[in-house]
Structure 1
Amino acid sequence: MTATESPVISSSRDLWRQIVVLLSAVIAVVVSFLGSGAVVGTPVSEVAGGVLDSDATLVAPGGAAFAIWGVIYTGLLLLGLNQAMSWRRTDARQRRTGWWITASALLNAAWIAAVQLAWLVVSVVLLIALVAVLVIIMIRLNERPATTRYEAVVVDGTVGLYLGWACIATVANSAAAGLDAGIAATGTIALWSAVVVLVVAAVVGVVLAVGLKGRLAPAIGLGWGLAWVAVERASGIPQAPVVAIVAAAAAAVTVLAAVVVRARFGPSAVRENQAVRDF
C-alpha cells in the first residue's frame, strides 16, 4: 500500500452481507431438498400431471442431467462459506456480487416453491429473473478476476455452471408450462418449435462465450443440459431424431464457442497481474 492509498474499512454492512449470503445459500439447499419430494411435497417429475418429466416435452433433458444440481448446491454452500471468512469481508468481488448471489439463491428457492404449487408460468418468470441475475454476477466477476484457484472454481465455477444450467432449465420449464396450458407436446409444430428453441439456446451459448470472454463453466452447464436433451430424444420417449441431432449440435457449438473465444483472449494472467485463469 502506498502513502496515497487508504486501507479498506470494514463496515457492519459487510458483515450483514456475509451472513445473509451464507443463510441464503443454506435456504436454497434446504428448499431444494424439501422440494425434491424426498421428504415432503411432490417429486418434480410428477408435478402438474408430470409435465416436467423427461418424457413430457421434446426439450426436456434426460433424468440424469439433473445430477448437476448436486454440484451447483455444493458449490453454493462452499461459496457461502468462502465469502463468510473474515478476510473476505472487504473483498471487492464479494462487495460487488454478494447481494446478487443472495438474490439468485432466493430466486432458486422461490422457483422450487412455484413448481411445487404447479404455478408453471410463475416458475418460468422466476427462472428468467434468475438467469438475468446470474448474468449480472458473471459480468461483475469478470471485472475483477479471481486471485486464487479455489476462488476461481468455487465462486466463478459455481456461478457459471449455475447460469448455463438455468438457461436450459428455462427452456424446459417454458415447454412444460406450454404443455400444462394445453399446447401439444408432439407433432410437426412441436417438433420444429423444439428445433428453433434449441438453435436459440446455441445462440445464447455463443453470446455468453463472447460476452464473458470464453468462460468455460457457463458453456459446460448449458452444454450438459443440451447433451441430455439429445440423449433423451435419441433413446427415450418420445423419440425425435431431428431434435436429438440439433440438441447435440447445439451442445457442441456452445462448448466450442467458449473454447475458441477463450483461446483468443488468452490467459487472464496477462491482465491485472492475475495468476489464475478464469473458469
Structure 2
Amino acid sequence: MTVLSPHATRADLVRNIAVALLAIVQVVVAVVAGDAVGPVAREYATPLLAAGWTFAVWLPIYAGFLGYAAYQALPGQRARQVHRRTGWWLAASAVFNAAWVLAFGAGWLPLAELLILALLVCVAVAYGRFTRTPADGVLERVLVRGTVALYTGWVSLATALGTAATGVWIGLPGAGPLAVIAAIVVLLAVTAVVSWAVLAGTAVVPLAAAVVWAIAGTALNDPPAGVVVAGAVAIVVVIASVVRRITTAGFPVRAAWG
C-alpha cells in the first residue's frame, strides 16, 4: 500500500518536473552523442574493454528511467518519502550521465571518469535508500527498483572499465603483464564490493544481472586468459551471493526484486 506524507508540496512538484525533464535530456544526449563513446573506448583499449553488444544494457536502463520519471510524477506518488529521499539523487544522475557521454565521446577521459564516479555515487545512494523501503507493488518493482538496481550494477563495472581506459589515456600500458595484473585486481575488487552490496541489499537480481552482463561482455571480448579466468570467478561469486541473499532473506521476493 502506498504510504503518503500529509500532502504534496511545491518542492515535490519541482522535483517531479526536474526528474522528468532530465530523464528526457539524458536520453536525447545519448541518442545524439552516444555513438562517439565506442570508438574512444577502443582507441584506449585495455584488457577490461567490453564488447560492443554489452552496451545494449543502456536500452532498458534509459527506458526504465523514463518509466520511473513518469511513475514518480503520478499524483499518488509525488509526496512519498521514498521519492523525496531519492528523487534529487536520480535527477543528478541524469545530469552526470549526459555530461559523461559528452566528455567521454570528446576524448576527455579524466573528466569523464570524475563524472561517472559522481554518477555512481548518485545511483548507489538512491539504490541504498530504496533498499530501506518496501516497494509499492509490481509496477514499482519493475520501473523503479529494477531500473535503479540495474543502473547501479552496470555503472559499478563501467566505472572500473573507464578507470582502465583513463590509465591508458594518461600513459599507462594498455597491454602486457602489468596491464593484465591490474585488470584482474580491479575486476576482483569490484566483484567483492558488488557481492557485499548484494548480500546487504534488495532488488539484487537486476543489480547482479547488470554486473554479470558487464563481466561476461568483457571476458568474451578476447582478453588475455587471466582476465577470462578472473571474469569466470567473478561471475560465480556474484551469482552465489545472489543465491545466498535470496535463500536466507525473510522476504525472498523483496530481496530479489525490491
2:103 is matched with which residue: 114, 124, 146? 114
- State whether structure 2 residue 203 is matched by structure 1 residue 224: no
Partner of 2:250: 266
Deviation at 1:48, TM superposition (A): 7.7
Kindly indicate whether the alpha-carbon contact (under 8 Å) linking 2:145 and 2:203 is maintained by their aligned counterparts in 1: no
Deviation at 1:107, TM superposition (A): 0.9
Q: 5+ residue gaps in structure 1?
A: 1-5, 38-42, 234-238
> Residue 85 of structure 1 aligns to a residue in which SS?
coil
Partner of 2:230: 246
Kindly indicate whether the alpha-carbon contact (under 8 Å) linking 2:205 and 2:256 is maintained by their aligned counterparts in 1: no
Counterparts of 1:95-106 in structure 2, within 5 Å, are 95-106=84-95
Structure 1: how far apart are the matches of 2:202 and 2:10?
Answer: 35
Partner of 1:50: 43
CA distance 1:11–1:200, change in 2 (3 Å): same
**For residue 13 of structure 1, what is the amino acid of its counterpart?**
A
Structure 1: how far apart are the matches of 2:224 and 2:103?
Answer: 30
Structure 1: how far apart are the matches of 2:63 and 2:118?
Answer: 22
Structure 1: how far apart are the matches of 2:109 and 2:240?
Answer: 33
Q: Aligned residues, how many?
A: 255
**For residue 148 of structure 1, what is the amino acid of its counterpart?**
G
Partner of 2:239: 255
Deviates more, 1:257-266 or 1:224-233: 257-266
Q: Hey, which of these two has a bigger chunk of helix by percent?
A: 2
TM-score norm. by structure 2 comes to 0.93
Partner of 2:140: 151
- State whether structure 2 residue 257 is matched by structure 1 residue 278: yes
Q: 5+ residue gaps in structure 2?
A: none
Larger radius of gyration: 1
Structure 2: how far apart are the matches of 1:227 and 1:66?
Answer: 12
**For residue 29 of structure 1, what is the amino acid of its counterpart?**
V
Deviation at 1:50, TM superposition (A): 1.8
CA distance 1:144–1:106, change in 2 (3 Å): same
Partner of 2:20: 22
2:30 is matched with which residue: 32, 41, 58? 32
Deviation at 1:146, TM superposition (A): 0.4
Alpha-carbon deviations, 1:77-103, whole Å to 9, x = none?
111111111111112221111111101
Structure 2: how far apart are the matches of 1:210 and 1:226?
Answer: 19
Kindly indicate whether the alpha-carbon contact (under 8 Å) linking 2:191 and 2:238 is maintained by their aligned counterparts in 1: yes
Counterparts of 1:179-198 in structure 2, within 5 Å, are 179-198=168-187
Alpha-carbon deviations, 1:235-274, whole Å to 9, x = none?
xxxx4112111112212211221221122113267xxxx8
Kindly indicate whether the alpha-carbon contact (under 8 Å) linking 1:164 and 1:218 is maintained by their aligned counterparts in 2: yes
2:50 is matched with which residue: 54, 61, 79? 61
